[in-house]
Structure 1
Amino acid sequence: MPTVDSARRDVVTVGVGMVTDELELEHHSHRKAELLLGLSGVFRCEVEGGIWIVPPQSALWVPGGMVHRIAASGNIDSYAAFVQPAADANLPTTCCTIAVSPLLRELIVRSAQFPADHEVDGIESGVAALLLHEVSTAPLGNLHLPMPTDPRLRSIFQDMMTDPSDRGTLESWAKRAGLSVRSLERVIAAETGMSFGRWRQQLSIILAVQWLASGASVKQVAGDLGYENVSSFVTMFRKALGVSPARYMAERSSRH
């Protein structure tokens, strides 16, 4: 039986289902690109350049050869499609999340029913070609946190992850890092393309989606992120993602 990397097909898909508090796949890579679809549960992918969160009914694209680490939690129902590097020149060249249309979801599920070692022809090839076309034209998601390489900024990130409720001012974070406010603003903009406030808000959004998908209430998430009241958190979430937290999760649950 061939491995996903050695199989001749353009697309080899496997399904995974389990209930887990936390499943971790340590840093690894594979020759083929990976399209990870989460129907339920929540996934977090870490690469050198950032962190991506994959909520239910979304997918993560990881180019071939890219070292990455994946963590998952909740009632996991997922599919991983492994794609030949030269299968389609229009496929993404960087790690990203993509919006999953009903057609793309069904193509991924259908492709998981094909054996990895079948002859490359017939309906299997047609499904693979359409699947790759859907991936190449799918809208990109926005649940990405750019990760700085500067050790002082990495230290700030670790502190924020340790205590996400800490709503310290820009001045207080700069002091902890041994930087002036202006230097902190300059370094974070150079390494992430964001202001410090925008970068911290993006971390809050990513954590919120991860916790909500794991079953936490909106009130609990707002408190854990240090918001004085639920309405302030909901306003921030709506501005960032276009809908309220409750609507965001309801839309993903209704597609399952």
Structure 2
Amino acid sequence: MLIVQSQTLSHQSKHHTPWHQHATGQLFAIRRGMMIVQTERAQWALTPATIGWFPAGLRHCAWTVGETEGCSVQLSQADVLPTGAGVWPADPFLMLLMERVSNIDLTHTQLSRQQHLLAVIADEIRLAPVAPLQLLLPTDRRARQVAEQLLLAPERNQQQAALASHCGLSVRTLRRLFSEQTGLSFSQWRQQARILASMGWLLQGETVSEAAAKCGYDNVSAFIAAFKLRFGMTPGTFRLNNAHESRPEHALR
């Protein structure tokens, strides 16, 4: 496993990287803000203190939510890392490893050190639980249109019947397609999309009630319960835990 390229990430909100693919795999570590990486099959939310892995040849695009800081490394011969994309929580040790490896000298004299550090990173990823930050997208064209409408405007409370009709589907077919192609019911998928959207608002300093309203929840208590069920913590705790990451002095250099 070799580092082909490394870089520090420092982007303003809504920075967009168009669809592309690499001959190498790519590891991301996000320290501040939020990055959405979309493949043809799923969206992945990279939040503070997470590691994202996207294998070679995987077509994807990306955009930032809020000012985002972190690092990335592109790897060849990454056979010790997972064969599929994923996002994992990263403790301070793993985040420091990623920062160190992203700044390492890529000359031949540092080859052994590269490989040692990358081997430790791969071990840490294998031992870490997968973070619940994935949202599978339906493959059916009509259901995909519905999904894209929900992602673009999570605050809108359109009824299933109206969404289905607009895209030429019956409610029954819409529900079946989401269940078969995403593994979630339509309602579960919509809730997951809203919860992931709320994380971006919370990271930008919105209050829990403001984030709830902006992602379509009329009832703040229901939003808190859904967030805690998904992530094992309340949105207030998530916001508090990541408040220090929004300060510029914590950005990667």
- Alignment TM-score, normalising by the size of structure 1: 0.87
Could you tell which deviates more after superposition, 214-223 or 63-72?
Answer: 214-223
CA shift for structure 1 position 225: 2.1
Does 2:78 match 1:55?
A: no
Match of residue 235 from structure 2: 245
CA shift for structure 1 position 95: 1.4
Match of residue 129 from structure 1: 119
Alpha-carbon RMSD across the aligned residues, in angstroms, is 2.2
CA contact (8 A) 2:198 2:214 kept: no
Does 2:193 match 1:217?
A: no
Letter of the 2:234 counterpart: S
Deviation string, structure 1 residues 217-253 (Cα, Å, up to 9, x no partner): 2221211222223222112211221111111232244
CA distance in 1, matches of 2:115, 2:10: 29
Could you tell which deviates more after superposition, 126-135 or 43-52?
Answer: 126-135
Q: From 65, 74, 80, give the equivalent of 1:82.
A: 74
Structure 2 residues without counterparts, runs of 5 or longer: none
When residues 230 and 176 of structure 1 are mapped into structure 2, their CA distance, relative to the original with a 3 A threshold, is same
Aligned residues between the structures: 246
Q: From 128, 131, 156, give the equivalent of 1:138.
A: 128
Match of residue 186 from structure 1: 176
CA contact (8 A) 2:178 2:185 kept: yes
Does 2:10 match 1:18?
A: yes
CA distance in 2, matches of 1:128, 1:154: 37
Q: From 158, 161, 164, give the equivalent of 2:148.
A: 158
CA distance in 1, matches of 2:236, 2:87: 21
CA distance in 1, matches of 2:165, 2:68: 41
CA contact (8 A) 1:104 1:131 kept: yes
Match of residue 28 from structure 1: 20
Structure 1 residues without counterparts, runs of 5 or longer: 1-8
- Alignment TM-score, normalising by the size of structure 2: 0.88
Letter of the 1:78 counterpart: G
CA shift for structure 1 position 81: 2.0
Does 2:168 match 1:173?
A: no
Runs of 4 or more consecutive aligned structure 1 residues displaced over 6 Å after TM superposition: none
CA shift for structure 1 position 193: 1.2
